[in-house]
Structure 1
Amino acid sequence: MACGGSDPTLAPTQPDPTSANLEPTSIIPEGSSVVPKLVPDVDKSIHSVPLEDILFDTFGTVSARFVPLSEISDELQADLRDAIIPVDLPVYGGSDALPWLEDDDLVLGYESGDEAFAYPINILNFHEMVNDVIGGDPVLITYCPLCVSGVVFSRAVDGQTLTFGNTSALYQSDLVMYDHQTGTYWFQVAGEAVVGTMTGSHLDSLPSATMPWGRWKSLHPDTLLLTGVEGGLETFLRGPPTATVSGAGTKKS
């Protein structure tokens, strides 16, 4: 499957009000920077793409490496949430804060007013998402290593501010995100809700650029760099993260 947009000919199916699972489930893996909260189960009766085309990477926790959304158990689906842990309390430093970052290393760059922010791809490869508020605006930094697609979105949609996590699933070989508020599944590269109560909604993309660190730094000498997670839960000062997936959480080695 190629990384790309969803099929516009597939209209959302109509929900069955008796089938929606409204029981919240706790999804916080050990070591996550996410503030513990309850997340509604995704309503699979509402979708704009075939459920069998959304494939969960089980990371070897069960016999099948990939399991479609149409077949996965609710328990395994919940266990796999945030197996790749997003950064929810980012810490930034100056342009010299990461001595290991080479000029030819790629960064995802974002500007807000007079401020510039750089997110090393070496870090996003292992976290894939950063939830933040920059310049008073709720933003979502996203990167799919498989598609090599870096996109920045506004987290404000349909009158509410969403917080995003990682489903551990792929659609068209691209990252599938979920939001904490409704449990809806979102197709990363298109910023489109494809399963759940917000199906059909879209995130507004914000201007960003992926380029070598040396070029971004020359364009924005006062840029801020993602350097860790608030509270000392994780720091990238000594080097980029390495990770192995174990159970429900990504363990840093």
Structure 2
Amino acid sequence: MPVFLEVLGDIWNVGAAILTVLLSAIASGHVVLYKRDSRAAVAWVGLIWLVPVLGAVLYVLLGINRVRRQAADKRAQHPILSSGAFVALRRDGEQSPAVIALAHLRTLAELVDRVSGAPLTAGNVITPLENGDEAYPAMIRAIDEAETSVALSTYIFDNDAAGAMFADALQRAVVRGVEVRVLIDTVGSRYSRPSIVRELQERHITVGLFGRTVLPWRMPYMNLRNHRKILVADGRVGFTGG
């Protein structure tokens, strides 16, 4: 019996070692294939091999961008983004005379097309706004002048004087019959107390929260935040920045 137990222990140790190496190899392979940031990839591979098992588990929980994959799936199911008309628009954008005429923009055009899935378009005007004192009034004016739609995406929407100013403008748009949609990051929505989310809902403003982390099985998404700051009015006027 002691000999049997000793052999069984040896088999267990060898099996555990093989499984550990296999797990580390699979996790490292996933890092190499899907991590675009080389520094992050090196860091994750180092953690996976220096801290066996735990490193791989941490990578599965925190290192895999599931949000990007889900976004791609939803984009594929979208009636417009997945339609032939959008594909044709992309094809036309790739051959845009405005882009072809400006050789120094070709690399940028190709990058934008790969990252966003939408081509550069001609005829746009860009106005730099250096700070909130310049940006906020222009954004409020765009909301007040909107006739059909307003889409706002932000990481933080504080329940303060500036937040109230935007809430009032969004409510005025709703009263005019404008389709208003607001997307706030779940973590960013908690930066002020009480959160402004309930107030927006009471004003009949459509609000969505990105990346809820209340449920335990949603915790792997807690490090994937939406830091975008975007306002689009009527699909014609847009604001973006930080």
Give the TM-score, by structure 2 length: 0.21
Say which structure, 1 or 2, has more relative contact order (CA 8 Å, 6+ apart). 1
Task: From the two aligned structures, give the one with the greater strand fraction.
Answer: 1
The two structures have a TM-score, normalised by structure 1, of 0.21
Larger radius of gyration: 2
Structure number with the higher helix fraction is 2
